[in-house]
Homo-oligomer: A and B are copies of this chain.
Amino acid sequence: MATTQSLLDAAVALAQTRRSADLGDLIEELRIPSISTLPERREDCLRNARWLRDRFEAIGMKVQIVDVVQGGLPVVVADWDGRPGKPHLTIYGHYDVQPTDPIDLWHSPPFEPVLHDGHLWARGAADNKGNHMATVKAVEHLFAAGGPPVNLRFIIEGEEEISGPSLPKYLRANGAHLKTDAVLIWDSGMDEQGHPTLATALRGLLYTEIHAQGPAVDLHSGTYGGVSPNPINTLARIIAELKDRKGHITIPGFYDAVQKPSAEELATWKKKDAGYAETMQRMTGAKALEGEEGFLALERAGSRPTLDVNGILGGFVGEGQKTVIPAHAFAKVSMRLVADQDPAEIFTAFQARVRELSTPGVEVEVKMLSSAPPVTCGVDHAAAQALRASYERAFAKETSLIRVGGSIPVAVDFQEAVGAPLVISGIAQADCAIHSPNEHLVVDNYHRGIEAVIRFICGLA
C-alpha cells in the first residue's frame, strides 16, 4: 500500500488534471430536477438516487438505495471498509433541491446549468449538489490513486428540503450499525469574504401555522364593517405584536435559555461585522437591514433567535377589488432557535402568546409543522483540526469559526443516534442564493473543495 502522502499527492494531481470531468459530472446531476416538495418531481428524485448509486458503484463502493418510509424518498448509502483498523468517516449530503418559484426571476432555466463569469448557475449548484459532488469526486480520485486511507460511508438523503422523516428514521433505527469516528456534514458554506468555515453552532427551527377564523362566511364590508371581526386585521395584530418595534420577540420566556456567545466569538464578530453587514445589505437588495436592536448583524444572523412570517393569505387577492370581510386567514410563522432553547417549550409559549394577542371575535388555531433543536459543535477534536489544516492548504486561507443561521435538522439525528463528532462545513458561498432564483456556485471553490476533501480524508488516516 502506498503511503498516505503519496496517495494524497496522486489524488490531488488527479483533481488537477480531471477538472473538466469533475465539473461535467456535477452539471449532469444538476440537470435532474429533484424537487422533493413537488409530487410531480418524485420520479426525478428517484432518478437522482439511482444516478448517485451508479456513481458509487463505479467508484468501487458497496451501495444501496434504502426505502425507509412508505411513499418517502430513499436514502442512498455507500460503504467501503477496505482499511480495517483505520478510522471511519461518514459524509452526509442531500440530492433533493428547493422549488424554483418565482421562476420568472431566473436569468437562465434552473435545470439547464450555465457557466458564466466563473460561476455555475443552476438550482442545487450550491445546495447541495455542488457540495456533495465535491466529496464524491474527492473520494473517486482517492480510489483512482490507490484507495482511500480510511474507511468511508456516504449517506445522501432526498428529503432535506422538506424535513422528511426518512433519514431521521434510518439513523435512529440503525444507529448501532453506523458507528463512525466523524461525520462530515457538507451542507454549509464559506463566509461572505470567501473564507472556509467550520460551524460551532446551527440554529434550530420551529415552523408553525396560525389559522384565524372570524365570521363563519365571507361578509360584505359595507353591511358588516364596524361590527364583524376581521381575521386578517387580527392576524396582522398578532404578528405585529409578536415583536416590538425594536425587533425583540415578546413571547414570555423566549430568551431565557439563550446562550451568550463567547468573548472570543464576540471579539471576532465585532471586527467582521461592518463588512458582513455591507455584504448582507448588498445581497438582500433591501434599502436597509433590520433586526434586533442592540446586537451585531453577525449575532442577529447566527447567535440570536428570530421570528419571520414565511407566508400569509386571506380574503380576496385577485385583480381589482372585492369589499369582503373574509371568514378565514392564515400565516406561516417560523422561528430560528439557538442553544439552549427547547422547541417544544417555545412552541407552548408561542401558542399561549398568539392566543393572548388575538381579539374577542377571532378564533385562532396554532399548528406546529416541524421543529429541529439547535446544535452546538466542538472544534477541538481530530476531525475538525484535520479539516482546518486541509482548508489552509487547498484555499490558502484561514478557517472562520461561524455560527450557521440555518438549521440542519439531521445534525441532531446524527448527534443523538450515531454520536460521533460533527464537522459542518461546505463550499457554498454566503452570496450563492440558495433557495432563491439564480442559485450559483463559484467554480474555483468547487475544485479547491475537492482538493480540500482529499486532504481532509488523508489527514484522518
Contact = CB atoms under 8 A, between A and B. Distances in A.
Interface of A: 37, 98-99, 102, 105, 162-163, 203, 205, 207, 214-230, 232-233, 235-237, 239-241, 243, 245, 277, 280, 284-292, 297, 299-302, 304, 306, 308-318, 320-326, 329-332, 334, 336, 359-363, 369-370, 404-407, 430, 433-438
Contacts of A235: 236
Contacts of A317: 311-313, 330, 332
Contacts of A437: 217-218
Contacts of A334: 221, 321, 323
Contact of A243 (B99, B215, B233, B301): B233
Copies in the complex: 2
Nearest to A223: B405
B311 A224 contact: no
Contact of A226 (B37, B105, B300, B438): B300
Given A323-B310, A324-B310, A361 B331 contact: no
A230 B242 CA distance: 14
Nearest to A289: B227
Contacts of A406: 220-223, 323
Contacts of A321: 162-163, 207, 310, 332, 334, 369-370
A91 B325 CA distance: 30
Most buried by B among A207, A317, A323: A323
A370 to B, nearest CB: 6
Contacts of A320: 37, 162, 369
A99 B321 CA distance: 11
A191 B304 CA distance: 56
Nearest to A319: B37
Contacts of A163: 321
Contact of A308 (B225, B241, B434, B435): B225
Contacts of A405: 222-226
A289 B236 CA distance: 18
A301 B223 contact: yes
Contacts of A300: 226-227
Contact of A217 (B221, B285, B292): B285
A241 B316 CA distance: 21
Contacts of A215: 284-286
